[in-house]
Amino acid sequence: MKKNGKKWIAWLLICPLMLSGTLADAKSVKKPKLNKTALVMEAGAKKQLTVKNKKELEVKKTSFSSSKAHVAKVSKTGTVKALKKGKTTITCNVVLKNGKKYNLKCKVTVKKKAKPEPSIPQETNAPTNTADPSGTEKPQETTIPPESARPQETTIPSESARPQETTAPSESARPQETAIPSVSPSPQVTASPASTKAPLHLSKNGIETRDNGEMRDGIDAFDIVWEMGLGTNLGNTMESCGTWIDPSSVSNYETAWGAPITTQEMLTGMKEAGFSSIRIPVGWSNMMSDDGNYTINEAYFDRVETIMNYALNADMYVVINIHFDGGWWARFGSKDAAERQEAMKKFKSMWLQISNRFEEYSERVIFESANEELGARLNSTDDYEGSGYFTTKDELFETTNAINQAFVDVVRSTGGNNAKRYLTVAGYDTNIDLTCDDRYQMPKDTVDGHLMVSVHYYSPAIFCIASDPANSWGYSDSWGTEQDIAAMESEFDNMRTHFVNKGYPVIIGEYGVTDSTINGESVQKKGRDLFFKKVCEITTENNMCPMLWDTSQIFDRRTLTMADEKDKENYLCISKKIKEKPVVKPAIEKD
C-alpha cells in the first residue's frame, strides 16, 4: 500500500505539469488573421488586405468576396476598392495545406468623397453606341438583350418580340475585376415535384453535382411546366459575345457585358425569391474550334455545366439553349448553297455535343433549340452580309421548321436520358402572332408529351422596349388600363388555342420592360410591377412558364436580393399560389 501510495502521489504531481504543457501548446497554435479587421475609406480609395503568416501557417488557398460589391469590391488578391457610400463586409476564405478552413472578416465603411470621382458606370437600359480604338461600336448593357432590338421588316417592332440591337457592349460593360379564362378542363393532380438531389458526386465530366439523373415515368410536359413555376434568365452572362473580348479565358466572356462571376449563392437567392426555373442563354461559338468540326471548348462546357449545377443544387429547372451566338444563324440564308449546308452542319454538331455532354442529367435539364433567330434573322444581312438568299416568308417558315426538326432528331439520336428529355422549340421570331401562323409547324417526336414551344413577350413594344420619349416609332411610360390587360389576355389566349389545347405547353422564354431614360437617368416606368404580375398570373393559369429577362436589375446578383419591394412581394406571392394548386391539364384537341 505504501509503495502504491507513493506512485499515486507522483502521478498527481506530474498531472498538472502535463496539463499545463497541453494548454500551452494549444495557446501556441496560430490561426490565420487579416492585416485589417476594419477599414474606413473614401469612395475611390484602395486598400490592401493580406493574410498574416501565410508561409508559417502553410496557406494553400485564399479567396476574397464582398457582401455588397456595389459599395466596395475586392480583387482576387485582396485589393479593396471603395465605390460608394455604405457598409460592406469583405470575407477571406482561407484553406490550409492540412485541410483546415477559416473565414476571416473585415468590415468596410465607405464615406462619400468631398469631391466625388466617377463611379463604375451604371447599367443603362437604352443602347448607346460608343466606338473603341478598333472602330467597333459597342452598345452599353441593356435590360433587353443586346442581340435583338432593331425592328425586323417593319419600322415599328413586332409586338411580342423585341426589335434588333447590336451585339457588343461598350467599354463600361466590361468586367470590373471581377389568366385567361379558358374552358374548364378537369384538374389532374400529380405528385408534388420530387427533389432530384442526390449525394454530392462528380459528373462524368468531373463537375460536382447533386442531380440524381432520374427521368420520371407517368408525367408529361404539362407537369414539367407546372413545376417550373416562375422562371428567370441569367442574362448577359454566358451568351456575351464580341470580337473585342479576350478569348483566353471563359471568365472574360462571362463578365464581358457587365455581369459578375456567377456563384451558388446567386442561384440560391433566385430560388428563395420565388423563381423555380432559370434559362441560361449560351454563346457556344465563343470558344470553338475553327477546323470545320465546330468542337466546343472543354473549359466553356465546364463553366456552363458548373453554373447549371448551381441551379440544380437550388432545386431549380434549367433551360440551356444556343443563343444569338455572334449572329452565325444568318448563314442559313447565305447566297452560297455550300454555306447554307455548312450552317446546318454546325447546328447539328453543336446539339450533338450538348446532348452528349448533358445526357446523364435528370429531367430538370431542358434543351431549347434556339433564341430569336429562327425566322427573319436567318436571312439577315445585318448579321451576315452574305445572307439574303430567301425571297419569301414561306421559305423562312420552311427553314425554321426544318431546323427545329433537326434539333429534335439530333437530341433523340443520342439516347439515354435524351430519349425522353423535355425539349423546347423556338417559335418563329419568338413572336406570338407569327408562331401561331399555320406555316409554323411543331416537329415530329419519337415520344409523346415531351415538347414545348417558346415565344418572347415584349408587348406593347412602345412600353416594353422604347426607353426614349422621343423614339420615332412610339413611346409609353405607363401600362395597366383595362384595354392593356385585355390585349395581354388576348395574345396569351392565342398561344393557348394554338398550342396548349393541342398538347404543347408554352415557355415564355423572355419578357421584360426597359426603364425610361430621362435626362440621362433611368426611371422605372409606371405599371411595370403590374405588367410583371399579370404576365405571371395569366401564363401560369394556362399551362405556360414565364421566364423574366433579367441582367441583374430585377434580382440584384451582387446584393442577392430583389431590387424592388413590389416585385419581391409579387413573385413570392404568385410562386406560393402555384405550389398550392395542382396542375390542370387541358382536354387535348386533335387536328
If residue 138 lies in a helix (H) or strand (E), which one and from where to where? strand 137-139
pTM of the model as a whole: 0.72
By DSSP bridging, strand 197-202 and strand 208-211 are antiparallel
In total, the chain counts a number of residues equal to: 591
Cα–Cα distance for residue pair 425/416, rounded to 1 Å: 20
CATH of 197-580, one of 3.40.50.920, 3.40.50.970, 3.20.20.80, 3.90.700.10: 3.20.20.80
Higher pLDDT, 110 or 412: 412
**Residue 128 burial (CB < 10 Å; 0-12/13-18/19+)?**
middle
Q: Which of 288, 295, 286, 231 is nearest to 254 (CA)?
A: 286
* Residue 196 pLDDT: 60
Instruction: Judge whether 339 counts as a catalytic residue.
Output: no
**What are 455's strand-pairing partners?**
508
Cβ density class 131-162: b for 16+ within 10 Å, e for less: eeeeeeebbbbbbbbbbbbebbeeeebbbbbb
Sorted by sequence, the CB contacts under 8 Å of residue 318 that are 6+ apart come out as: 277, 278, 279, 280, 308, 311, 312, 364, 365, 366
Cα–Cα distance for residue pair 239/304, rounded to 1 Å: 10
**pLDDT one-digit tens code per residue, 322-377:** 999 999 999 999 999 999 999 999 999 999 999 999 999 999 999 999 999 999 99
Domain limits, the chain: 38-111, 197-580
Residue 527 Ramachandran class (φ > 0 left, ψ -120 to 50 alpha, else beta): left
Q: Which of 184-188, 193-197, 321-325 has the lowest mean pLDDT?
A: 184-188
* Domain 197-580 in the same topology as domain 38-111: no
**Does 410 score more than 60 pLDDT?**
yes
Number of C-alpha atoms within 13 angstroms, CB side, residue 332? 25
pLDDT-derived band at 195, boundaries 50, 70, 90: low
C-alpha cell at 537: 398570373
Which one of 368, 372, 537, 541 is the catalytic residue? 372
Which one of 368, 510, 537, 541 is the catalytic residue? 510
Instruction: Judge whether 537 counts as a catalytic residue.
Output: no
* Residue 441 pLDDT: 99
Sorted by sequence, the CB contacts under 8 Å of residue 44 that are 6+ apart come out as: 81, 82, 83, 113, 117
Please report where in the chains the cell 475553327 appears, as a residue. 290
Rounded mean pLDDT of 233-238?
99
Cα–Cα distance for residue pair 362/216, rounded to 1 Å: 9
**Does 73 score more than 50 pLDDT?**
yes
**Does 194 score more than 60 pLDDT?**
no
The CATH architecture of the domain made up of 38-111 is: Sandwich (2.60)
**pLDDT one-digit tens code per residue, 257-274:** 999 999 999 999 999 999
By DSSP bridging, strand 277-280 and strand 317-321 are parallel
**Does 5 score more than 70 pLDDT?**
no
